[in-house]
């Protein structure tokens, strides 16, 4: 049986690009070191800052929350988890349980918002009235609610669980359709727009999908093994993923090169044109006029619900004692 190249204990994984076998403990440390490197290299978060990590209950969010919670002491940032119950039947129930167990095990506070409590409905009903694909409505809703939570909590950054494979595939897909503005959003970090949008960071930027999966398995943390029933497995994305993996087999490291070079050149890609404006209904970021969440909810419920979501998150945060001192009286 192969032995760990560091401590000679039985190995559980082989890291091909480094030509090293690693035991469980050293594998966990290897992934945590990658996350730390990404945080430092791309200046994702500073001392004394507050990070809101989006937790879905899946493997990447388990790796995200676990690695961040291990690093938060050393790097001096505060970590809060955020979960959205999307009202997707059994799947949402199971993912809520996974997210709650994960946060409890790690000792990280978790703020959970149930969409149905605020809107009286979840993603399936919202998607029906908006006549858009489930995943597209769900994406808009999640982006909105996560940003609203970050604004209400006074967070300095929102941490997302996208891994290196996700970035490589989105990058190739956007390149094929020459959607350069979409590529401009694939960096390790996006900027905060004061008062309306909190910048996003991707701490798993240098972590391969396989590594994230193995980390969450080896760390013994709970995560949901199922995928959302609406998951939209677009053929092109599946094929691109396979193509990138084939390339990686032939030239180990090429996937990582793709994402690190992208991060370096991200400023060269054109950003979406147009002024950043405030949604007249909820006050958060919009690309002109009412934001997409307020439009989706207006269509489904007859009125925009952004403000309600903000109020609900604020009330939950106050109950948990998570509002920052400067915010609690405003
Ligand atoms: Fe959003 Fe599946 S998680 S549609
Ligand atoms: Zn070892
Ligand atoms: Zn709005």
Q: From the CB of 134, is ligand 1 less than 6 Å away?
A: yes
Consecutive H or E run containing 83: strand 78-85
Residue whose CA is at the smallest distance from ligand 1 atom 2: 228
Report the chain (330 residues): mean pLDDT per 10 consecutive residues.
Answer: 95 92 97 98 97 96 97 97 96 96 97 97 93 90 98 97 96 96 95 93 97 96 90 82 94 94 96 85 94 96 97 97 71
For 166, phi then psi, to 5°, come to: -60, -45
Q: What ligand has the least distance to the C-alpha of 282?
A: 3
Report the pLDDT value the prediction gives residue 327, as an integer from 0 to 100.
64
**Whole-number mean pLDDT of the chain?**
94
Strand partners, 78: 50
Q: How far is the CA of 174 from the centre of ligand 1 (A)?
A: 21
Task: Say if 81 falls within a structural domain.
Answer: yes
Q: How far is the CA of 57 from the centre of ligand 3 (A)?
A: 27
DSSP 15-67: EGGGTEEE-HHHHHHHHHHHHHHHHHHTT---TT-EEEEE--SSHHHHHHHHH
* Domain ranges, residue 165: 39-274
Q: How far is the CA of 46 from the centre of ligand 1 (A)?
A: 32
Task: Say if 321 falls within a structural domain.
Answer: no
Structure tokens at 83: 């979960």
CA dist 150 to 28, 77, 81, 108, 144, Å?
Answer: 29, 15, 11, 16, 10
The total domain count for the chain is 1
Q: What is the atom index within ligand 1 of the atom nearest the CA of 229?
A: 2
Distance between CA atoms of residues 22 and 28, nearest Å: 9
* Cβ atoms of residues 29 and 45 within 8 Å: no
- Picking from 112, 114, 97, 24, the residue whose alpha carbon sits closest to that of residue 58 is 97
Tens of pLDDT, residue by residue over 7-29, are 999 999 999 888 999 999 999 99
Report the pLDDT value the prediction gives residue 1, as an integer from 0 to 100.
82
129: alpha, beta or left, given left = phi > 0 and alpha = psi -120 to 50? alpha
Task: Say if 310 falls within a structural domain.
Answer: no
Distance between CA atoms of residues 330 and 318, nearest Å: 12
Residue whose CA is at the smallest distance from ligand 1 atom 1: 138
* Cβ atoms of residues 71 and 39 within 8 Å: yes
Report the pLDDT value the prediction gives residue 326, as an integer from 0 to 100.
65
Task: Say if 279 falls within a structural domain.
Answer: no
Task: Say if 68 falls within a structural domain.
Answer: yes
Task: Say if 297 falls within a structural domain.
Answer: no
Q: From the CB of 115, is ligand 1 less than 6 Å away?
A: no
The model carries a pTM of 0.94
Q: How far is the CA of 307 from the centre of ligand 1 (A)?
A: 23
Task: Say if 6 falls within a structural domain.
Answer: no
Q: What ligand has the least distance to the C-alpha of 143?
A: 1
Q: From the CB of 91, is ligand 1 less than 6 Å away?
A: no
Tens of pLDDT, residue by residue over 238-261, are 899 999 999 999 998 999 999 999
Task: Say if 295 falls within a structural domain.
Answer: no
Q: What ligand has the least distance to the C-alpha of 25?
A: 2
CATH, residue 201: 3.40.50.620
Q: How far is the CA of 317 from the centre of ligand 1 (A)?
A: 25
Distance between CA atoms of residues 32 and 38, nearest Å: 10
Q: From the CB of 9, is ligand 1 less than 6 Å away?
A: no
Q: From the CB of 138, is ligand 1 less than 6 Å away?
A: yes
Report the pLDDT value the prediction gives residue 330, as an integer from 0 to 100.
45
């Amino acid at each position: 049986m192969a032995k760990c190249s560091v401590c000679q204990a039985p190995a559980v994984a082989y890291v091909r690009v480094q030509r090293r076998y690693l035991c469980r403990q050293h594998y966990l440390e290897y992934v945590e070191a990658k996350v730390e490197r990404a945080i430092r290299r791309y200046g994702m978060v500073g001392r004394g800052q507050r990070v809101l990590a989006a937790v879905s209950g899946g493997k990447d969010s388990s790796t995200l929350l676990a690695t961040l919670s291990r690093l938060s002491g050393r790097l001096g940032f505060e970590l809060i988890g955020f979960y959205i119950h999307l009202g997707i039947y059994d799947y949402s129930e199971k993912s809520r349980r996974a997210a709650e167990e994960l946060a409890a095990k790690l000792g990280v506070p978790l703020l959970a918002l149930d969409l149905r409590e605020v809107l009286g409905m979840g993603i399936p009903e919202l998607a029906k009235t908006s006549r858009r694909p489930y995943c597209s409505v769900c994406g808009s809703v999640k982006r909105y609610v996560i940003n609203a939570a970050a604004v209400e909590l006074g967070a300095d950054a929102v941490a997302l669980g996208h891994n290196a494979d996700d970035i490589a595939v989105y990058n190739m897909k956007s390149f094929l359709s020459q959607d350069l503005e979409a590529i401009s959003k694939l960096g390790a970090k996006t900027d905060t727009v004061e008062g309306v949008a909190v910048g996003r960071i991707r701490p798993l930027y240098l972590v391969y999908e396989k590594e994230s999966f193995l980390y969450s398995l080896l760390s013994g943390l709970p995560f949901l093994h199922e995928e959302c029933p609406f998951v939209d497995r677009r053929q092109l994305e599946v094929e691109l993923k396979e193509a990138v993996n084939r390339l990686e087999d032939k030239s180990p490291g090429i996937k990582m090169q793709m994402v690190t070079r992208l991060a370096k050149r991200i400023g060269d890609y054109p950003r979406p044109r147009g002024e950043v404006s405030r949604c007249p209904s909820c006050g958060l970021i919009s690309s002109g006029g009412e934001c997409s969440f307020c439009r989706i909810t207006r269509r489904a419920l007859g009125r925009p619900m952004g403000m309600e979501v903000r109020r609900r998150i604020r009330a939950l945060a106050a109950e948990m004692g998570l509002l920052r001192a400067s915010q609690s009286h405003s």
